[in-house]
């Protein structure tokens, strides 16, 4: 099967890719083309991710969750890696649910090569392989981080079944948090290296999933809204409950020109004499007051302000959309002069 290219101006280009403009710095990173083999499913997508070195119990539990998601008419998205990712794809195939692999590097040599047969089964069952890199591209470490962000952006929610403190699954979880997407985590033993990442995510505000029924209950209102015709894309899930785009502003958030370093050239000083600064809610005002000219990591803001990651994430999104705060480098935020 040959690789197709989906450009930002193509009708099939996912609107949700626009979410990445909120977290990726630099104009060059905006609306990249997508390379695909197969067909993207129309069913709501759920990202199911975890460690490559998962325990057997974690793999079994991953399978249980995927079966429930398939029963809820969801498609299963993951990274195609060993461990939890592979189990999610395999059980999706067994349950006749569409599944998508988001990988790094070109699709002519998807990673890992050991899963070539699995990828063929996915394509044969009507699923898809997706990448930000064209065929023949050399794999780079940062591409795996990028693919984790794509996973979070293009799916309705993210589920982490088992993850160490440092892992690709936590990058996907972090992306879901920053995009204000629902994040579900299976509680793990905090003293266990394989479960420490899940414990950290729960502290940061993720919703715990102790059994398959928990996931069914948590997803029911989201899936119901989609079935009723209410789209969750391209807006983050929480945008329909919090004013990420305040009502007093225009329908489209103000655009700030970005240079290659992610620096905004549109500032609060560019307002006309009759324009007033936006009226921030309490949490947004707190986050803004804590930021200065030096970049501050979002985790440090959570600690210093004693706010949940979701609150800080929503505030930062609001401030970035209004052009008063910029992200540079990734994960670090500062005021715009």
Asked if 288 and 318 touch (Cβ cutoff 8 Å), the reply is no
232 in a structural domain: no
- Give the CATH number, domain containing residue 320: 1.10.10.10
- Of 227, 254, 270, the one marking the end of a domain is 227
Element (H, E) at 48: strand 45-49
Q: What pLDDT shows up at residue 264? A: 33
* Torsional class of 234: left (φ above 0), alpha (ψ -120 to 50), beta (otherwise): alpha
Parent domain of 26: 4-227
What does the pLDDT read at residue 228? 56
Cis bond upstream, residue 176 (ω within 30): no
- Looking at the domain assignment, is residue 233 inside a domain? no
Measured at the CA of 240, the angle between CA 305 and CA 163, to 5 degrees, comes to 60
**pLDDT given at position 297:** 85
Do residues 186 and 247 share a domain? no
Question: Torsion angle, CA of 247/248/250/256, rounded to 10 degrees?
Answer: -100
Q: What is the pLDDT along the chain (337 residues), one digit of tens a residue?
A: 899 999 989 988 988 888 777 666 544 456 789 999 999 998 889 999 999 999 999 999 999 999 999 999 999 999 999 999 999 999 999 999 999 999 999 999 988 989 999 999 999 999 999 999 999 988 888 888 889 999 999 999 999 999 998 888 999 998 888 887 889 999 987 778 888 888 888 888 889 999 998 898 888 877 876 765 544 443 443 333 322 222 222 222 222 322 333 333 333 333 433 334 567 888 899 999 999 988 888 888 888 888 877 788 778 878 887 888 887 776 788 898 6
pTM of the model: 0.69
pLDDT reported for residue 262 = 33
Q: How many domains does the chain have?
A: 2
């Amino acid at each position: 099967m040959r690789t197709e290219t989906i450009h930002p101006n193509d009708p099939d280009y996912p609107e949700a890719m626009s979410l990445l403009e909120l977290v990726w710095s630099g104009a060059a990173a905006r609306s990249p083309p997508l390379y695909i083999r197969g067909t993207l499913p129309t069913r709501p997508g759920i990202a199911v991710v975890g460690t490559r070195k998962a325990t057997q119990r974690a793999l079994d539990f991953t399978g249980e969750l995927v079966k429930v998601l398939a029963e809820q008419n969801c498609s299963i998205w993951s990274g195609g890696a060993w461990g939890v990712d592979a189990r999610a794809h395999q059980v999706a195939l067994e349950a006749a649910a569409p599944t998508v692999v988001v990988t790094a590097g070109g699709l002519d040599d998807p990673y890992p090569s050991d899963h070539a047969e699995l990828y063929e089964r996915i394509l044969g069952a009507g699923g898809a392989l997706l990448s930000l890199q064209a065929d023949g591209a050399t794999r780079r470490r940062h591409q795996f981080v990028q693919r984790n962000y794509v996973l979070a952006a293009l799916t309705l929610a993210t589920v982490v079944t088992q993850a160490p403190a440092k892992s690709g699954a936590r990058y996907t979880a972090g992306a879901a948090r920053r995009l204000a997407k629902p994040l579900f985590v299976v509680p793990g033993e905090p003293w266990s290296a394989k479960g420490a990442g899940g414990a950290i995510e729960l502290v940061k505000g993720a919703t715990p999933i102790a059994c398959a029924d928990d996931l069914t209950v948590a997803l029911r209102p989201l899936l119901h809204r989609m079935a009723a015709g209410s789209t969750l894309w391209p807006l983050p899930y929480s945008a329909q409950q919090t004013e990420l785009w305040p009502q007093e502003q225009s329908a489209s958030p103000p655009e700030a020109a970005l240079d290659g370093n992610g620096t905004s050239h549109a500032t609060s000083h560019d307002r006309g004499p009759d324009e007033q600064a936006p009226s921030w809610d309490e949490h947004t005002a707190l986050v803004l007051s804590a930021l200065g000219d030096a970049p501050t990591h979002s985790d440090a803001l959570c600690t210093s302000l004693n706010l949940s990651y979701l609150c800080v994430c929503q505030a930062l999104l609001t401030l970035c959309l209004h052009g008063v705060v910029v992200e540079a480098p990734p994960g670090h935020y500062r005021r715009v002069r």
